[in-house]
Amino acid sequence: MPNSLSRPRRYEHNFRRVAILFAGGPAPGANAVISSAAVSFMRNDIEVVGIKHGYSSLIDFQEGKPLEEGRDYVVFNHGMLSRARNSAGIMIGTARANPGKNVSHPSHLNEPERVAALQAVYDGLRSLGVDALVSIGGDDTLKTANKFKMFQDRLPVGAHRIPVVHLPKTIDNDYRGIDFTFGYFTAVDFLAREVRNLMADAEANRSYFVAESMGRSAGWLAYGVAIAGEASLVISVEDIRGKFEMQEEYTDAATGETRTRRVMNLDEVIRRIVLTMTTREREGREHGVIVVAEGLAELLPYKYVEGVARDDHGHINISQINLHELFARLIGESYAKTTGKKKKLTPLQIGYEARCAPPHAFDVMLGSQLGVGAYRALVENRLNGVMVSVEGQLKLIYVPFEELVDPETLVTVVRYIEPDSDFQKLTRFLETYVNEEESTS
């Protein structure tokens, strides 16, 4: 039996070359994941290529136009990976190109025009002699990895298949199948420091900041930043229930059809924020920081989102809405109407500046384990179509794509903060207490 200082056991395998690809938004710890995965394969005599800028070059691949080393991919060596785990940024870049955007049902995989981009990805990887793919990214990238596997499942008998494993990444931390994603805690700490600075500024000027936090689907980042940053109040999509939600009828501009959608009751939400402000004033605090999650933009009444464009993944273009500016204006109007006074409210957006911050130790450890997990999933366990995850003391587990993706829509399941969970209640315990009955008077 090997002792605790023995090198990990070698396993027989048929892999000659593995590709690593990073897609979607950046996250602290990305290079810990990439370098740990690459080193694990290389130390076991498997060559590793890093595909540059996500799927961008692969989608455009055509026979007769080979991918170019240095521009489209790099071949890793140990010198390139030395001391990379703690570095900021993404050594192979990233992009949001989506080769699966035309596939929204399993039947679409049988239509050549819909899978043309997936075919190009497959052909591009084969042109490089790739035997397996390590996909790193958020829920949209997980969807793409699943579609790429399903595309290959339909290839003719005997065709070469490229096993794919996925490593979960998002500072939003809204991933089903893992408790905390790499980069989350670094981003929370970085942004919490900003919020604490804003609080000091607000106190000096007897004013308020309205900080729109990243977090498209769930409130994990906004809540974490509010807790660690000692914000006055945080509101996210999970809070839009009860009197803070309503049903709205609207006319679809494209079809002319009347539809119904769930939206936030914006009047009640704004009233609740103003109640926090007036309560703080009675306590002698004429300042504060309100954190709102950007995902609230998806729940705005139709008049605020009509005509706003969506990206390749169907997400609303949040930058066109400027939620922080909208909230600051509405809060200021409501505050003036309620109190007869004016209050300075400064809107700003936070989040992007944290995505490439140097990672904290925990994110380096978590990212490194996920990177090693990619090797162990493919070589030790001979798995295909799994997401690498951890539980407890970074114990590796492998979650099949089928458990994470809806089999009909091929959409991933968002992991929201559970209503009335201890994590959700933690914020309510720490922020300003208010008399809810006042908000309806």
Alpha-carbon radius of gyration of the chain: 24
Find out if CATH 3.40.50.10610 is the number for domain 17-181+359-403: no
Instruction: Please report where in the chains the tokens 């309620």 appear, as a residue.
Output: 338
* Residue closest to 348 by CA, chosen among 238, 218, 204, 198: 198
* Residue closest to 413 by CA, chosen among 169, 175, 156: 175
- Cα of first residue to Cα of last residue in the chain, in angstroms, is 73
The predicted structure's pLDDT at residue 306: 78
Two tokens at 1?
């039996």
The predicted structure's pLDDT at residue 279: 97
The predicted structure's pLDDT at residue 98: 94
The predicted structure's pLDDT at residue 231: 97
Q: Output helix, strand, coil percentages for the chain, rounded to the nearest 5.
A: 40, 20, 40
Contact between residue 21 and residue 49 where contact means Cβ atoms under 8 Å apart = no
Half-sphere exposure (Cβ direction) of 434: Cα atoms closer than 13 Å: 21
Say yes or no: do domains 17-181+359-403 and 187-355+418-440 share a fold. Answer: yes
CA–CA separation, 8 and 308 (whole Å): 52
10 Å Cβ neighbour count for 394? 14
Looking at residue 253, what DSSP letter applies? T
| Structure confidence by residue, pLDDT tens digits, 168-189 | 999 999 999 999 999 999 999 9
Contact between residue 183 and residue 171 where contact means Cβ atoms under 8 Å apart = yes
Q: What is the largest CA-CA distance in the chain?
A: 78
Q: Which residues of the chain fall below pLDDT 50?
A: 441
Contact between residue 289 and residue 209 where contact means Cβ atoms under 8 Å apart = yes
Contact between residue 133 and residue 125 where contact means Cβ atoms under 8 Å apart = yes
CA–CA separation, 435 and 334 (whole Å): 18
pTM higher than 0.95 for the full model?
no
CA–CA separation, 48 and 37 (whole Å): 9
Task: Determine whether 2 is exposed, middle or buried from the number of CB atoms within 10 Å of its CB (0-12, 13-18, 19+).
Answer: exposed
| Structure confidence by residue, pLDDT tens digits, 217-227 | 899 999 999 99
The predicted structure's pLDDT at residue 314: 63
The predicted structure's pLDDT at residue 252: 76
Cα torsion at 55, 187, 197, 275 (round to 10°)? 100
Which CATH code for domain 187-355+418-440?
3.40.50.460
Half-sphere exposure (Cβ direction) of 83: Cα atoms closer than 13 Å: 0
Q: Report how far apart, in Å, the C-alpha atoms of 367 and of each of 185, 224, 248, 407 are.
A: 12, 19, 43, 28
Would you kindly state where each structural domain of the chain is located, as residue ranges? 17-181+359-403, 187-355+418-440
The predicted structure's pLDDT at residue 84: 93
